[in-house]
Structure 1
Amino acid sequence: MKIGIDKIGFFTPHIYVDMNKLAVARNVEPEKFTIGIGQSQMAVAPITQDSITLAANAALKILDDEDREKIDYVIFGSESGIDHSKSGAVYVHQLLGLNPNARAIEVKQACYAATAGIQMAKGHIVLNPESKVLVLGSDIARYGLDTSGESTQGAGAVAMVISANPRILELENHNVYLTNDIMDFWRPIYSDKAFVDGKFSNEQYIAFFNKVWTAYQEKSGFDLNEMEAICFHLPYTKMGLKALRTVLDDTTEEVRERLLNHYTTSTTYNRNVGNIYTGSLYLSLLSLLEQSEDLKDGSRIGMFSYGSGAVGEFFSGILQPNYRNHLNMKDHKQLFDSRKEVLIEEYEHIFKETLPADGSDIELDIMKDPASICLAGITDHKRQYVNKHS
C-alpha cells in the first residue's frame, strides 16, 4: 500500500521585513544577511497570530468535506506551544470543523517534530487504510531585537494530509534516524527566548546529515544518482547548502549541477519567510514542487530533517503521476503577493507587542489581520480564537 502526502498547504503572516533594511538598521553589511545566510525577507507575526492560528490557516484552504470526515488523527508539531497541558491539535481540530471521532495530539522535538508526526501518521494509515491524518508543523522563531539570531527569525506553518494512495508524494520506507543528547539549541521553560550555540549547532547539523545519509545509502542501496533533488530543514537557506556540498564530490558533474539547481529552487519560499522550525523542511519541499518546472513524475526526492538537541532523519519519497495538479500554487502565490512590507520601526513595535503574562484579559483587533483565523484575545486565562468565515 502506498502512503504519503496527499495534500500540502502553507501559511505565513501578511507582513514581513526586508533583510537589506534590517541589516542597515543593525549596522551590518546587507550581504551578510542576503548572501551570508541567504535570507531576503523575514515574516513577522502580529499579536493576532500564534502557532495555533498559523497551523489552522495553513490547513484551511486544502481541506474539503471528505477530508474533514476522514481525518481521524491530528498531529501538531511545534516548539511554540501555547499550553503546557492542552495540545495545539485540539484547538486546530475545532477551528477546522473536523470529525469529532479523532485523536488530537501535540509532539515536540525542536524542528524535527513534524517529521515524527508524519512517521506516526504512516503507522496509523497502515492500520486504518481509509483514514486520513492531518500533520501540522507550526512555529514562530523569536530570538529578540538586535540579537545574533534576529536575522534567522520567521513565522509560518505547513499542513499535510497523509493518506493511502497519495496524489503528491509516496513516502518510501528506507528511513534512517539518529539521536544524540547535545546542547546546540534549547529553550528552558522559564525563558521566552531560545539559547543557541550557533557554531556548534551548524557543525552538528552537518555531522548528523553525513551520518544519516551514509546509513541511508547502505540501507536503501541508493546514492546521489538516484536523487532528483534533496530538500533540507532550513533554519536559514545557506545551512542546507553547507551540508549538501559535503557529499557532492561523490558524484558526477551532471548530478552535482542538478542537485544544486534544485536546491536553489527549494529555498525560494524559505528565503522569503525565514525560519519556521518544524515546518521548514516541508516549506522547502513545497517550494521545490511549486517552483520547479522540470521535476518529473516518478522522481525521487530526498529529505533531511534535523531538530536540535538533537534528532535527525533522512528519508525519501516518489513524486506521483500528475502531482502538480494537486498543489495549491494559486493560493500560495496570492499569499506571497498580498504580503505587506513593514518598516523597521513598525516591526520593532509589533515584536514588542506581547500577550499579558499575569493572566489579565485582553481583546485584540483582528480586523487589522486579513487572515481567516485569528487570535481575538484572552478571557479568564483562555485564548479566544475566531474563524471569520465559519
Structure 2
Amino acid sequence: MSHRYLSKLVSNNQPANMKQAFHCLLFVIEGQNTNKFDVIFCIHFCFRKVMNGTGYLHRPSSVGILACELYIPSLYVDQSALETYDNVSKGKYTIGLGQQRMSICSDHEDICSLCLTVLSRLLDETGVHPQQIGRLDVGTETLIDKAKSIKTVLMQLFVDHNNTAVEGADNINACYGGTAAIFNAIHWIESSFWDGRYAVVVMGDIAVYAKGNARPTGGAGACALLIGPNAPVVFESGCRATHMAHVYDFYKPNLNSLYPVVDGHLSVQCFTSALDTCYTQFCTKSQMNHESHTHTHTSTLTSREVNLSTFAAVLFHTPYVRLAQKSLARLYLNDLIRACPYIANATTEKYKNLDIRTLVNDKDLERDLIEQSKELFEQKTLPGLYFSQNMGNMYTPSLYYSLFAFLISQPTEEQLYGRRILLFSYGSGLASSMYSVVCRKVHECRFTLAQLQRSIQRARNRLDNERT
C-alpha cells in the first residue's frame, strides 16, 4: 500500500473513502504488510487529518477506560495471622483497619515484572497490536533505579514490533502517580498532538513497611488501562479539583531501604484536609460549570448542586478500609454543613455554623458521623472495597482497584449506564485530585462495559481461588 494511494483515499474527506482508508490501516497493522513506515504514516495521516486537521469530525470525545488488566500476586498474608504474630489484640487489623488479607510478592518478582506482566496481558487479551499504542505512562513510587524509568523497561514489548514512537514516562508522587499518568494520557488524546493511537497507563507498587503499626497497611498490585475515545467509562470533562502542598507526612529519604518514614497522625490530617479542600472546590466548580454551560451543553456534569446523592459511588485512595469509611463520613459532614437537600433539615441544623477546618481531630464527632453515614457508606463506598480488603494498600493502583470492584458489584452492565462515580486520589507529600467518571453504553466500538466487567471478574476469580 503506497502513501500516494492512501492520500487519494482521504483527500476528499468523504465517509466512504475514510472507511476504506481505515481498512487499509487495519490491513497494515494486522501484519499483512509489516513495513513500519507504512504503519506510522497511516496512523498519523488518517487520524490527524480526520480528527484534528479538517474539521469534518470533532476532536475525540468520551475519552476514558476502554479495557483493563489487573495483576493479583499469588501470595498473601492473612491479617488475623499477622495479629497473632505481632502479638496485638484480636481484631486490631481485621476490624480496626478493616483488612482481611495483604498481598505480597515472591522473591523472583519486582515492580518491573509486575508491570511487564499486566501490560503483556492487556495487549494479549484486547488484541491491540503494539504499533497501535502511541503513548505509555507509568505511575509508581516503587523505584529500583534513580534514573532509568520503568516505562523504558516496558518498551521491550514495543521495540520487537518496530514501534519506538511511544510518548510518556514515569510519574512519581507517592500514591498519586497513577492519577497523574491517567491525566497525561487523557490530555494527550484530547490535544493537537494526538496521532490517533491508543494510550496505555500502567500503575503498580509493592508497599512494604518496617515492623510496627504501619506494617499491616502494606500490599502489592498492578494494573494496565487502555485509554481512548468512545469509552465505556469516561472521565467527565469540565470539572476537576486539585490540591497540592509541601509536607513530610510520608517520604522515603533512605534510598537503600524500601521502608518509608511515616508520620501517621500527620498523614491522616493531610489526607482529611486535602479531601475537604478538593470536595469544596469540586462542588463549587461543578455549579459554576453548570451555570456557564446551561445553554451550550458543553459540560458533562448537569446537576446544579453536587453532593453525595449525585453519585452512584464515592471512592477513595484506600491505604486501609477504615480510612475510606472515615472519608465518606467526612464528605457527609461537608454536606451537613452545606445543608444539602437530601439530608433532613433537623439533622443539618446543629452543623450549619461549624467551621470544618477546626474539626479534623474531633473523634467523638467522627464516630457520630460514621454512624449517621453508615447507609451511604454501604451503598456508595463499600461495594468498591473488595480488592482493598483482600489485597491491602497497592499505592498507585489503590483507587482504581476500588473503581474496578464497584464496576463488578452491579449484576448487569445496564445498571451502570449513566451512573456517575466520584473519585478522590491522594499521594503523600502531598498531591490530591477529585474528579468523576460516568459509565455509558458505547456504539460501534469493540470495547464495551460488559467486556470490562469480564476482565475484572477474571481478576476477582484469581483473587478468590488461586492464591496461597
Match of 2:440 among 320, 341, 345: 320
Structure 2 counterpart of 1:229, one-letter code: A
Equivalent pair of 2:139/2:201 in contact (CA under 8 Å): yes
Match of 2:404 among 281, 286, 293: 286
Q: Which residue number corresponds to residue 387 of structure 1?
A: none
SS of residue paired to 1:90: helix
Q: Which residue number corresponds to residue 130 of structure 1?
A: 196
**Residue pairs, 1:155-194, within 5 angstroms:** 155-192=220-257, 193-194=259-260
Match of 1:216 among 282, 285, 293: 282
Q: Which residue number corresponds to residue 354 of structure 1?
A: none
| 1:236 matches 2:320 | yes
Relative to its length, the structure with more helix (as a share) is 2
Q: Which residue number corresponds to residue 357 of structure 2?
A: none
Q: Which residue number corresponds to residue 424 of structure 2?
A: 304
Structure 1 counterpart of 2:452, one-letter code: H
SS of residue paired to 1:172: coil
Cα drift, residue 21 of structure 1: 0.6
SS of residue paired to 1:242: helix
Structure 2 counterpart of 1:231, one-letter code: L
Q: Which residue number corresponds to residue 456 of structure 2?
A: 329
Cα drift, residue 149 of structure 1: 1.2
Where do 4+ consecutive residues of structure 1 move more than 4 Å? Answer: 253-256
Equivalent pair of 2:404/2:456 in contact (CA under 8 Å): no
**What is the CA–CA distance in structure 1 between the aligned matches of 2:310 and 2:408, rounded to whole Å?**
21
**What is the CA–CA distance in structure 2 between the aligned matches of 1:317 and 1:190, rounded to whole Å?**
37
| 1:80 matches 2:80 | no
When structure 1 is superposed on structure 2, of 320-329 and 5-14 the one drifting more is 320-329
Structure 2 counterpart of 1:275, one-letter code: N
Cα drift, residue 169 of structure 1: 3.1
Gap regions ≥5 residues in structure 1: 342-390
Structure 1 counterpart of 2:248, one-letter code: M
Q: State TM-score, norm by structure 2.
A: 0.69
SS of residue paired to 2:429: coil
**What is the CA–CA distance in structure 2 between the aligned matches of 1:159 and 1:176, rounded to whole Å?**
24
Structure 2 counterpart of 1:100, one-letter code: T
Among all aligned residue pairs of Structure 1 and Structure 2, give the percentage whose two residues are the same amino acid. 27
Q: Are residues 106 and 136 of structure 1, via their aligned partners in 2, closer, same or farther at CA, if it must alter by over 3 Å?
A: same
Q: Whose RCO is larger (CA < 8 A, sep 6+)?
A: 1
Q: Which residue number corresponds to residue 387 of structure 2?
A: 269
Structure 1 counterpart of 2:196, one-letter code: E
**What is the CA–CA distance in structure 1 between the aligned matches of 2:85 and 2:343, rounded to whole Å?**
41
Cα drift, residue 23 of structure 1: 0.3
Cα drift, residue 174 of structure 1: 0.7
**What is the CA–CA distance in structure 1 between the aligned matches of 2:129 and 2:243, rounded to whole Å?**
33
- Larger gyration radius, structure 1 or structure 2: 2
| 1:60 matches 2:112 | no
Structure 1 counterpart of 2:62, one-letter code: K
SS of residue paired to 2:397: helix
**What is the CA–CA distance in structure 1 between the aligned matches of 2:247 and 2:201, rounded to whole Å?**
27
| 1:3 matches 2:67 | no
| 1:110 matches 2:165 | no
Superposed CA RMSD: 2.1
Equivalent pair of 2:139/2:202 in contact (CA under 8 Å): yes
Q: State TM-score, norm by structure 1.
A: 0.82
| 1:25 matches 2:48 | no
Q: Are residues 338 and 95 of structure 1, via their aligned partners in 2, closer, same or farther at CA, if it must alter by over 3 Å?
A: farther
**What is the CA–CA distance in structure 2 between the aligned matches of 1:253 and 1:290, rounded to whole Å?**
29
Equivalent pair of 2:279/2:331 in contact (CA under 8 Å): no
Gap regions ≥5 residues in structure 2: 1-60, 288-305, 345-371, 442-447
**What is the CA–CA distance in structure 1 between the aligned matches of 2:95 and 2:155, rounded to whole Å?**
40
Cα drift, residue 307 of structure 1: 0.2
SS of residue paired to 2:146: coil
Equivalent pair of 2:67/2:225 in contact (CA under 8 Å): yes
Structure 1 counterpart of 2:423, one-letter code: M
Q: Are residues 323 and 340 of structure 1, via their aligned partners in 2, closer, same or farther at CA, if it must alter by over 3 Å?
A: closer
Cα drift, residue 227 of structure 1: 1.2
When structure 1 is superposed on structure 2, of 324-333 and 209-218 the one drifting more is 324-333
Cα drift, residue 259 of structure 1: 4.7
Cα drift, residue 17 of structure 1: 0.8
Deviation string 1:154-193 (CA, Å, 9 cap, x unpaired) is: 1111211111111233433311101110010000143411
**What is the CA–CA distance in structure 1 between the aligned matches of 2:245 and 2:274, rounded to whole Å?**
9
Q: Are residues 331 and 304 of structure 1, via their aligned partners in 2, closer, same or farther at CA, if it must alter by over 3 Å?
A: same
**What is the CA–CA distance in structure 2 between the aligned matches of 1:147 and 1:339, rounded to whole Å?**
29
Q: Which residue number corresponds to residue 381 of structure 1?
A: none
Deviation string 1:101-143 (CA, Å, 9 cap, x unpaired) is: 2124111000001111111111110131622111111100111
Structure 1 counterpart of 2:420, one-letter code: R
Q: Are residues 225 and 20 of structure 1, via their aligned partners in 2, closer, same or farther at CA, if it must alter by over 3 Å?
A: same
**What is the CA–CA distance in structure 2 between the aligned matches of 1:56 and 1:166, rounded to whole Å?**
24
**What is the CA–CA distance in structure 1 between the aligned matches of 2:439 and 2:195, rounded to whole Å?**
20
Structure 2 counterpart of 1:301, one-letter code: I
**What is the CA–CA distance in structure 2 between the aligned matches of 1:104 and 1:94, rounded to whole Å?**
15
**What is the CA–CA distance in structure 2 between the aligned matches of 1:247 and 1:170, rounded to whole Å?**
21
**What is the CA–CA distance in structure 2 between the aligned matches of 1:326 and 1:69, rounded to whole Å?**
22
Relative to its length, the structure with more strand (as a share) is 1
**What is the CA–CA distance in structure 2 between the aligned matches of 1:199 and 1:293, rounded to whole Å?**
39
Q: Are residues 174 and 36 of structure 1, via their aligned partners in 2, closer, same or farther at CA, if it must alter by over 3 Å?
A: same
Q: Are residues 73 and 55 of structure 1, via their aligned partners in 2, closer, same or farther at CA, if it must alter by over 3 Å?
A: same
Q: Which residue number corresponds to residue 345 of structure 1?
A: none
Structure 2 counterpart of 1:324, one-letter code: A
Structure 2 counterpart of 1:236, one-letter code: Y
